[in-house]
């Protein structure tokens, strides 16, 4: 054997150093641009602004049916009679929700005595005063809330967006 052989220890030191140096260059390149963060939670399409009703025409406990954001999406607007978080109108008591239960898409009905939406198919209940929060039944998600705007000059209420996903959709705006 000649003396030109590299010892196992020297080979491992040189090999390990080479791998570490290569990894350092790959992980932290000198001229790297900062990563662009995309907001994937935002809708890419704008919600339309659709008129719903005049605040003066709404009475406490009487739901008003409309469609939003398209004709295939039935919704209910209700004047609750008590100031509610997210409520609009002169008394901040008008709210709106999708009529399709988040469990299996059955229609929900408003119960004015309890200010809840009830699904007749599987008995899920949603609280209208607490943002459509699911309070009982088979549903696992809150009822999608329709965002409303109120024009003080004209008294008109318009639907402007949705908080939550409509039943059976991959996107609310098609």
Please classify residue 26 by burial: count the beta carbons closer than 10 Å to its beta carbon, then call 0-12 exposed, 13-18 middle and 19+ buried.
Answer: exposed
Beta carbons of 122 and 131 less than 8 angstroms apart: no
Residue 28 is among the residues annotated as catalytic for this protein: no
Can you give the length of the chain in residues?
174
Q: Residues 70, 87: contact at Cβ < 8 Å?
A: no
Three-class SS state of 136: strand
Reported as type and span, the H/E element at residue 64 is strand 64-67
Given the residues 76, 78, 95, 103, select the one marked as catalytic: 103
Q: CB–CB of 55/77 below 8 Å?
A: no
- Catalytic hit among 90, 122, 136, 149: 122
Separation between Cα atoms, residue 117 and residue 66, nearest integer Å: 16
Q: Which residues are catalytic?
A: 103, 122
């Amino acid at each position: 054997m000649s003396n030109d052989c590299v010892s196992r220890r020297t080979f491992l030191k040189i090999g390990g150093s080479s791998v570490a140096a290569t990894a350092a260059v790959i992980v932290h390149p000198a001229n790297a641009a900062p990563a662009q963060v995309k907001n994937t939670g935002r809708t890419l399409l704008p919600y339309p602004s659709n008129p719903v009703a005049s605040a003066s025409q709404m009475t406490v406990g009487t739901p008003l049916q409309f469609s939003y954001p398209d004709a295939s999406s039935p919704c209910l607007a209700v004047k609750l009679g008590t100031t509610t978080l997210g409520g609009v109108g002169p008394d901040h008591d008008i709210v709106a929700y999708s009529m399709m239960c988040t469990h299996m898409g059955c229609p929900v009905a408003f119960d004015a005595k309890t200010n809840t939406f009830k699904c007749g198919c599987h008995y899920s209940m949603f609280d209208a005063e607490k943002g459509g929060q699911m309070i009982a039944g088979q549903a696992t998600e809150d009822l999608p809330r329709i965002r409303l705007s109120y024009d003080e000059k004209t008294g008109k209420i318009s639907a402007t967006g949705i908080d939550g996903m409509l039943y059976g959709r991959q996107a609310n705006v098609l």
